A and B are shown apart, each in its own frame.
Chain A
Amino acid sequence: MTDILVCVKRVPDSSGQVLLTDDAQGVDGRFVGFTVSNHENSAVELAIRIADATDGSVTLVSVGPAEAVEQLRGSLALGCQAAVLVEADPTRLGPADVAHEIAEVVRAHAAAGTTYDLVLLGNDAADSGDFQVPIRLSYLLGRPIVTGASLVEVADGNLVAHTDGPYGAETYSLPLPAVVSVLEGGAEPRYPSLKGRMAAKKIQIEMRSPTREPVGAHRVRLSLPPAQPSSVEVIGEGPEAAPAMADLLVRLGVSR
């Protein structure tokens, strides 16, 4: 039985246009919407698979604004059993703060009788991209960590993680408890079922407050890369543009 904690972050959808907040301390997601990053969706998927295979459970945790309940409910609907929100202003938090608050949840739940043998996180957040929360958490918990795993399996209290190393596939094998950061690509996230959505609505999300003043992200300000003046020449629309394109290829000397 493997009880797993998965950390998810509410992030602005950055697949479209990225806008900044007026104080330049965060990305403004009001117009593009919010989501959970792909790495974390893969982490949730892997956690559910392991919990199913070992008759265990999956608990979610998010450190973020009250609205992150949306992301928690979305992931709960996939087949997780519980969720915790540490409500905090994400622009005031750095990676050390987030790791600290997650460690506090792990400790508080352990004191209450639930030990998470495995903590899964995304490799890096889609917005702040610090690459640090999983590793800092592992030190706070005194546990080993594997980063960038695309597949994670558990058997007989042992963890096997597969990563894509610089020289080819790499395998780690270590005893639980452990921390693993997940890279998307190894496990295709499932879609929520109607039953899952209904069940998720009924789950009471545990609300917590940060346990200390944050040290912060050392951020001075965010900016957008300067827009280059466009000098593009639109040569056509749709398949009707094919002859003009073929002419261009000849003119550029890449086709006869």
Chain B
Amino acid sequence: MILVLVETEDGSATEISLETLALARALSQEGGGIAIRALLVGALDDPGARDGLAAELGAHGVAEVHQALGEAFDTYAGAAWAAAVQQARAATGSVVVTAAGSPRGNEVLAHLSARLDVAMAANVVSFVGLAPFVVTRQVVGGAALEEMRLDQRPAVFTVAGHSWIAAESGGAPATWHEFTPEVAPADLVARVVATGQKEVDHSDSLKSARVVVGAGRGAGGPDGFAAVAELAELLGGSLGVSRVVTSLGWRPHHEQVGQTGSRISPELYIPCGISGAIQHWAGCASSKTILAVNTDPDAPMMTKATYAVVGDMHEVVPALVEELRRRRS
């Protein structure tokens, strides 16, 4: 059995959980049809979403859904979720336990691997073979790959975002099983006591934009985005940024393009001052045309782009804005 921890949002599995199921299905086929079980933790926000979710997970290759219920899951606690995974694993006899390489997925499976004293591979992108079971995972922020042996059982790993494409396989709706795991008081000491307002997802316009103008560390600071934002507006497009920009708090997270942000596929992507680390490339690789602006002609983004301009974004972008304005007036 392969047990997949599935995260949900608004009554559906998250995209990265469906991508994880795509890898699980490939693993299942390689192993001659190993059954896939999904684990959900906690009550659904809308109990009416259950049938739809059973159909969705079934279509993505899940035969059985196990839902962990109980007061322990009213608010999030990583150790309590791990207790649920641990008990579901034992009940299903799973030899593989996997989850999305999301903050929750990495956290819960790290708890599980510590509890079971087995190894865990984070951010797996593929597997090399089953005997021995060797996976390939991203290290150094995706700039390098590591082949890692998972000899212990269960084999525990998380799946890097955007490394697989979620696709339906046409399975029947999954059967639904509820259970109430035992959760020790110690597993509930570190639990969420308050949540902020759910942020409105502003990333829709970015994901569907025909033109995206990107900016990275080269912007230099929170004040370095005026010209790229203006260019995006002139082209009727959206502004997208690299992870370092959101990590430093220069721009909001919903503008991030990359493995931990949005995946974009515009007609034209104009990355400015973005070196093009794998993390970022994972989110923009399906752009039809890329016009990169960077001071370093050897930056990965410059060599992978369709067109390139060597120069400082703080000089090139305002000059382009001025040129476009001049032509339009």
Contacts and interface: CB of A to CB of B under 8 A. Distances in A.
Grouping DSSP codes into helix (H, G, I), strand (E, B) and loop, the B interface class, with mixed when no group exceeds half, is mixed
A124 to B, nearest CB: 7
Contact of B311 (A20, A130, A237): A237
Nearest to A250: B327
B140 A232 contact: no
Interface string A226-256: 0010111111111111110110110011111
Contact of B315 (A129, A169, A233, A239): A239
- B79, B198, B308 — most chain A CB neighbours (10 Å): B308
Interface string A120-147: 0000101111111001101100101111
A172 B145 contact: no
Nearest to A241: B309
Interface residues of A, number: 76
A169 B196 contact: yes
B312 A238 contact: yes
B307 A248 contact: yes
Contacts of A234: 297, 307-310
Nearest to A229: B303
A218 interface: yes
Contacts of B144: 18, 20, 27, 222-225
A233 B316 CA distance: 17
B194 interface: yes
Given A185-B249, A234-B297, A131 B311 contact: no
B324 A249 contact: yes
Contacts of A75: none
B195 A129 contact: no
Contacts of A228: 303-304
Given A166-B102, A232-B305, A234-B310, A252 B140 contact: no
Contacts of B191: 172
Given A169-B196, A170-B194, A253-B267, A129 B141 contact: yes
Given A38-B247, A131-B110, A232 B193 contact: no
Interface in B96-124: 102-104, 106-107, 110-111, 113-115, 117, 119-123
B103 A18 contact: no
Contact of B195 (A124, A130, A170): A170
B324 A218 contact: no
A85 interface: no
B186 A218 contact: no
Interface string A157-178: 0000000111111111111001
A14 interface: yes
B321 to A, nearest CB: 9
A185 B316 contact: no
A124 B260 CA distance: 14
B248 A185 contact: yes
Interface string B210-248: 110000000000000000000000111100000000111
B323 interface: yes
A18 B143 contact: yes
A18 B305 CA distance: 20
B278 interface: yes
Contacts of B13: none
A26 to B, nearest CB: 10
- A124, A128, A175, A218 — most chain B CB neighbours (10 Å): A218
B310 A166 contact: no
B120 A223 contact: no
- B138, B247, B312 — most chain A CB neighbours (10 Å): B247
A172 B189 CA distance: 9
Given A223-B144, A238-B309, 6 more contacts: A20-B144, A129-B137, A166-B7, A172-B193, A241-B309, A254-B235
26 contacts: A96-B119, A126-B141, A129-B141, A131-B106, A132-B110, A132-B122, A142-B186, A166-B7, A168-B197, A170-B194, A170-B195, A178-B190, A218-B121, A218-B148, A222-B144, A232-B302, A234-B309, A235-B307, A235-B308, A238-B309, A239-B311, A241-B319, A242-B316, A242-B320, A245-B320, A254-B268
Closest 8 pairs (CB-CB, A-B): A169-B196, A239-B319, A220-B147, A144-B190, A242-B319, A144-B189, A230-B303, A238-B311
